[in-house]
Structure 1
């Protein structure tokens, strides 16, 4: 399927652009700082090992082989990958086969409830991975899906592993699928899986455990909710406690998403907030983790996250609410993706006067809602933040992470910059000036581009030089 959507080859793009600088490449451009990606991946790896959890990586935010390899690491005990499209699965196959050749166990989870139209494609992927001992894992939440799983197993010649997709949140949890533990539907589904395994053994299917997804980022954009620290912790704790009490069997795997929380969990647990509700949430989370540590002789906790390799302003906003932000400007070092654009009109007269928004507008840039999204961040009320790259004066340490020129208004293709900071620190802009914009949502911003221009901020004096090209897969 991936071959139906051709992109320029990496070799041709490397030949054209590697060795050039950010001042020489065509605009707009998606730029990845590989030094930041490596730091983010290492931070996640260290956190998961410290907690004793297994880790499942996602590739849907960046859709590149190169970043996926950094997520997996140099010498993994096991490679666990979640894909959200079959295009991602097919594009991951060459990398997964490389790890299999090195003797690594590979498990690929298709994180979408099983669509009947994709049975043959899934069976082919299962056949390819199964030849070397790998497995394909699927989500089921209704008994009608089990015959489809058995059909895939027959076509591929290898057993399919199924997670029961469960819902543990309430009405406003953000869950859109899943079966509630204890319900009749749950009991019927579990009984059917159990019966097949008892009658057939692991010929057609195996049952590793339960899958759950609560959206940690829901509240930051929901008009009906205020995003606050207690609410941000709750999804992580709810998934753990809900699955621990829901399982009717032992020796089972619980798969949960852990956006933001997992890589900063030790910081969250040591948070001595003065807010009573926050303290209660942290204490509840400590208690849940203690229960997990007691039960891990019988159960396995598998956590997953998608945005952490490239990070974005939404992630920083959550950290700020949790009180985990660092010194002014330093958190932006973790944001690996910027969008390179240019000034196409300067509003010099509008920078005069006081602090009224209409008098702080600085420029029009050739970047709009098709890349930066339709809704502003509720944390700082902008669509993106202009980095200090290329500015006349370095203001690092003088402004916090969300100060400076912000993209305050957008139409489809253009955005208006507004200065949010001390008036005496406003930076002069000029027509044609290249700017790098941090997006609120890195995954959404990336969708507008076929490849990333890769730079390396650790190469002092050559930070703007293109060192590689990462071609994105088509969805």
Structure 2
């Protein structure tokens, strides 16, 4: 089904223009991804997931697994991924893409068109309201196949879903089971996505939030056990990046786990290949931006062994210094740079009062003197750089910036910043070392 979308230049023309250039030589602002850091984060979580025996569904990384499970926020993303999905199918891999919001009526026909191309068992949706059941029937009528369905549980974040006690509101669960028995849908299980952990600051808090999601879903199952068929295994799918990343704390040398780790591990094992009230369950962890990370992610400290911003965050926005105010023009020294809300977003972070962190690797330690440069204010197309008021040392010293200088800014929220660009410049710090040369260009889906 054709829907007009914003168009990018061809990938070939983008690669011809960018590949081989330093990121500091390209038109700015530009969004940069470090492929080496992404690989490391993906492998780290895959190792933990495999060790714990869970199924991992992610947006970006599937490795060599036979089963490819993805979550997409928009139909445009799924359409954009279609050639890759078709390639996976030709390789004999089993794919399933979850459209990650409760299914809107306006998107049913587009999703059904994709379903006809991909075939059975390739698409899944969320629902949390009885009125959405007719959208499932419409999908079946147009696609001539059933769609996988997760019932969305609200485990405390209050963005979407029903509370554990309300899963059968207006007969929702009962009628969903009826559609499943008729073969019009495939009722997969319960789904929670809670971002409460973005306010965390320790691994124990992140693990507790993940455990809380699992317990919330199991509470929903227990309260309505009489309505669930006993003939199939139901997936309990939980997570957000900080919570899911926290499972890496369960893989420790010597096996000495903290009390929070032991509690989470026990809860996970009880659900994975479990049996609750006569209902078989399996556990799935889903995460999105863990492969890239951002300032919000690092602020949660969900993993015990993470380094600093420069070591871990794979996304940055290259910006140019437009002007510098170092000579008493303002209450404190400041600089104007060429990236604003439309390049960085306007997403707050609980750990500091700023809108992005300036990469410190291009400055001498003597110049920084233990201080950190941040985006202190943002406008539409520009922002202001200043010393972080929480830094040690004087914030009245001149900024070590010059007009025309190229800097990298780590955004607070990678998803928001990434959506503001049509393509990403890819570097690989394992290949290029300290010389950030563009090695590839990745186009992203645009629109909805």
Pair in the same fold by TM > 0.5: yes
User: Do the aligned partners of 2:152 and 2:162 also contact (CA within 8 Å) in 1?
Assistant: yes
Q: Determine whether 1:118 maps to 2:107.
A: yes
Give the structure 1 partner of residue 212 of structure 2.
238
Q: Identify unmatched segments of 5+ residues in structure 2.
A: none
The question of 1:404 aligning with 2:376 is answered no
Shift in CA distance, 304/2, structure 1 to aligned 2, threshold 3 Å: farther
Counterpart in 2 of 1:458? 430
The answer to whether structure 1 residue 422 and structure 2 residue 422 are counterparts is no
Over 3 Å counting, the alpha-carbon distance change for 1:430 and 1:398 in structure 2 is closer
Distance 1:86 1:11 in 2: 24
Q: How big is the shift at 1:383? A: 1.3
1:255 aligns with 2:237: yes
Cα distance in 1 between the residues matched to 2:199 and 2:78: 30
Secondary structure of residue in 1 paired with 2:353: coil
What's the secondary structure of 2:335's corresponding residue? Answer: strand
Cα distance change of structure 1 residues 467 and 270 upon mapping to structure 2, 3 Å threshold? closer
Q: 1:175 maps to which residue?
A: 158
Q: Secondary structure at the match of 1:126?
A: helix
Measure the CA separation in 1 of the matches of 2:267 and 2:297.
24
Task: Please say if residues 141 and 179 of structure 1, whose CA atoms lie closer than 8 Å, have aligned partners that are also in contact.
Answer: yes
Give the whole-Å Cα distance in 2 for the aligned partners of 1:72 and 1:151.
Answer: 31
* Structure 2 length-normalised TM: 0.86
Partner of residue 302, structure 1: 284
The question of whether the paired residues in 2 share the 8 Å contact of 1:343 and 1:433 is answered with yes
| Alpha carbons of structure 1 residues 418 and 78: separation in structure 2 relative to 1, 3 Å | same
1:140-179 equivalences in 2 (<5 Å): 140-167=127-154, 169=155, 173-179=156-162
Partner Cα separation in structure 2 for residue 87 and residue 294 of structure 1: 34
Q: Secondary structure at the match of 2:311?
A: helix
Aligned to 1:449: 421
Q: Secondary structure at the match of 2:174?
A: helix
Matched, 1:194 2:184: no
Q: Say whether the 8 Å CA contact 2:88–2:95 is kept in structure 1.
A: yes
Residue 31 of structure 1 pairs with residue 32 of structure 2: yes
- CA contact under 8 A between 1:453 and 1:469: conserved in structure 2? yes
Would the aligned equivalents of 2:273 and 2:281 in 1 still touch at CA under 8 Å? no
Q: Is the 8 A contact 1:14 1:469 kept in 2?
A: yes
Query: 1:215-244, CA deviations, whole angstroms, 9 ceiling, x for partnerless residues?
Result: 235537xxxxxx666654443111111222
Structure 2 match to 1:339 = 317
Q: Name stretches of at least 5 consecutive residues in structure 1 with no aligned partner.
A: 59-67, 221-226, 272-278, 352-356
Give the match's secondary structure for 1:443: helix
2:196: which partner in 1?
216
After TM superposition, the structure 1 = structure 2 runs for residues 44-443 of structure 1, keeping only pairs within 5 Å, are 44-58=45-59, 68=60, 71-73=61-63, 75-130=64-119, 133-167=120-154, 169=155, 173-183=156-166, 185-186=168-169, 188-198=171-181, 200=182, 202=183, 204-217=184-197, 219=199, 231-247=205-221, 248=225, 249=228, 251-267=233-249, 284-293=263-272, 295=274, 298-319=280-301, 322=302, 324=304, 326=306, 329=308, 331-350=309-328, 358-359=331-332, 361-391=333-363, 393=364, 399=370, 403-419=371-387, 420-423=391-394, 428-443=400-415
- 1:42 paired residue number: 43
> 2:33 and 2:344 mapped to 1: Cα distance?
16
- What SS is found at the alignment partner of 2:187? strand
**How far apart, CA to CA, are the structure 1 residues paired with 2:186 and 2:402?**
62
Distance 1:108 1:268 in 2: 28
Using the TM superposition, give the Cα deviation of residue 29 of structure 1 relative to its aligned residue in structure 2, in angstroms.
Answer: 0.8
User: Shift in Å at residue 409 of structure 1?
Assistant: 2.1
Residues 369, 411 of structure 1: 8 Å contact kept: yes
The total of aligned residue pairs comes to 427
**Partner Cα separation in structure 1 for residue 159 and residue 401 of structure 2:** 45
Change (3 A) 1:191 1:375: closer
Q: Is the 8 A contact 1:175 1:213 kept in 2?
A: no
Cα displacement string for residues 335-389 of structure 1 (whole angstroms, at most 9, x for unaligned residues): 11111111111222259xxxxx944x24222222333333542202221111124
Structure 1 residue runs of 4 or more that deviate by more than 6 Å after TM superposition: 268-271, 395-398, 424-427
2:367 and 2:121 map into 1 onto residues whose CA distance is: 48
Report the equivalent of 1:274. none
Tell me: CA distance 1:323–1:380, structure 2 relative to 1, closer, same or farther (3 Å).
farther
Report the CA distance shift for 1:396/1:195 in structure 2 as closer, same or farther (over 3 A): farther
